[in-house]
A and B are shown apart, each in its own frame.
Chain A
Amino acid sequence: MTENTEALIEIKNLTFSRGSRKIFDDITLSIPKGKITAIMGPSGSGKTTLLKLIAGQLQPDSGVVTVEGLNVHQLSRKKIYQLRRKMGMLFQSGALLTDLNVFDNVAFPLREHTKLPAMMIDALVLMKLQAVGLRGAKNLMPSELSGGMSRRVALARGIALDPEMIFYDEPFVGQDPITKGVLVKLIKTLSDSLDLTSVMVSHDVDEVMQIADYICVISEGKLIAEGPKETLLNESTGYVNQFIKGLPDGPVPFHFPSVPYLDDLGESQKRGGVR
């Protein structure tokens, strides 16, 4: 992290396991205020889990996560819900409430948390929908939306309460190039215009490189690189280089660990062929 930037979220010595599998092993990182930070890593490296740990939805085995100086995992239920009002989150699936239409989905946080008159809620919802370009889809149900549209509606809902920070969980996965372009533009515009602290979990290198200010790379439970994107782009060796350039072989081998090929073939012939 650059020294002159204040950290909004700090993670210290975080360890988290699921069953016997260690997802994070002593991770320490900080997320600067007002910037777009990308957390990258291969599928299954626990990126989404990290967002849930930051938001206090999961309890770590050890370590501390502080948001605005508050230790998230020591807050009471009431306090953690208060803190979450300052957070927006864009889930990979959009996670829209399926029994409400687009308008009501975006209005939902406003209706639950504010006592604003209906007229003002209407105006705010239309404003948020206009920002994501879906004002015309306000009467559609979530089942009538494409994946990209769902995410845009979820984004409008995520910013409905004007949060200070917003988390994106794999925002580009499974989207066509146009939708990806739209999402890249939206994330950048919203981050700049609302002065949001954005944390983006993704493995889409091209899109991340377009908008991220700061990048952390996670692999096998460890933080293996962090820095401004220029620094990471200039890596010419090692895992980061393989990941960012999408090389098929390198520190992460192409082959799943196994006995030598010839030994396996010999074994199979002894058994009378592969079963």
Chain B
Amino acid sequence: MNALVTGLQGIMQTVGRGFLEKIAAFGQGSLFIFSLLLTLPSALLRVDLLLKQIYVAGVQSLPIILMAGLFVGMVLSLQGYNILVEFNAEEAVGSMTALSLLRELGPVVGALLFAGRAGSALTAEIGLMRSTEQISALEMMAVDPLKFVYAPRFLAVVIALPLLVLIFNALGVFGGYLVSVSWLGVDDGAFWSQMSSQVDWSEDVMNGVIKSVAFGLLIAIVALFQGVNAIPSSEGVSNATTRTVVHSSLGILGLDFILTSIMFN
């Protein structure tokens, strides 16, 4: 009987401790994000740091975004053509490709790739900076890591992703053009005119941009939070990097559904 009571007590203690730790982590995370947001205006003034981070997060992600955009556009138009041609509506392949890209695939696939490429790198970098005491060293040199390390990276991610998504979309449309017009023989004029008549600037293009800004915020928060809270060891940093990719990818897909239901309902 006593053993049962002790066992139950043990389980309750474990559950209770775990729950309290989760609440504490959530509180710490919220405080961190709140203080980070407060430092963003001053981080905008450090143009040198910001540009460097935009280069690291944005420019260095360009090759993967360019390649992916091109292939996604090519596949989309190939599949679209095969279906539309049965209804003699193959001219609509341009508008179909563009709408799919602008509304969904551009922001979502772009953000998923960006989370894998730049989000994971960000977490690993911050985790390693902490484990090699670089963050502590900055604090000791009276340089606030919030302003010097975290805020520029946060801003860079939020600025870079929408730009990358726009480039992704442009390349996707170009890929669609290559396949449907140059290869499958869809009429050039019909391809572009259908697209321009169907695509709406604010409903399609801007909603896509708003989505990518939201995904950028999500990736930046997840990647920074995981980096800052990574256990300072090789295993800890590797786990945190994995969590960044998993959490931000699932977050992107979930958030996309919510945003789509608000925007296109």
Residues of A within 8 A of B (CB): 52, 55, 57, 77, 81-82, 84-85, 87-89, 91-93, 95-98, 108-109, 112-113, 154, 157, 161
Q: How many angstroms from the CA of A77 to the CA of B138 in the assembled complex? A: 14
A87, A95, A161 — which one has the most chain B CB atoms within 10 A of its CB?
A: A95
Across-interface contacts of A52 in B (CB, < 8 A): 136
B134 and A84 within 8 A (CB): no
A82 and B136 within 8 A (CB): no
* A-B complex: 4 closest residue pairs judged by Cβ atoms: A95-B137, A95-B133, A84-B142, A89-B140
B140 and A57 within 8 A (CB): yes
> For residue B137, which residue of chain A has the nearest CB?
A95
A82 and B142 within 8 A (CB): yes
Q: How many angstroms from the CA of A52 to the CA of B144 in the assembled complex? A: 16
B132, B139, B140, B144 — which one has the most chain A CB atoms within 10 A of its CB?
A: B140
Question: 5 more A-B contacts (CB under 8 A) besides A95-B132, A98-B134, A112-B148?
Answer: A93-B132, A95-B134, A97-B137, A109-B141, A161-B141
B133 and A108 within 8 A (CB): no
17 contacts between A and B (CB under 8 A): A52-B136, A55-B139, A57-B136, A57-B140, A81-B144, A84-B140, A85-B142, A89-B140, A91-B133, A95-B132, A95-B133, A96-B137, A97-B134, A98-B132, A108-B143, A109-B143, A112-B143
Q: Mark B192-227, 1 if CB is under 8 A from A, else 0.
A: 000000000000000000000000000000000000
Distance in Å: Cβ of A224 to nearest Cβ of chain B: 27
Give which listed residue, B133, B140, B144, B148, contacts A55 with CB less than 8 A: B140
B133 and A93 within 8 A (CB): yes
Q: How many angstroms from the CA of A169 to the CA of B49 in the assembled complex? A: 30
Q: How many angstroms from the CA of A206 to the CA of B140 in the assembled complex? A: 28
Q: How many angstroms from the CA of A91 to the CA of B132 in the assembled complex? A: 9
> For residue B135, which residue of chain A has the nearest CB?
A95
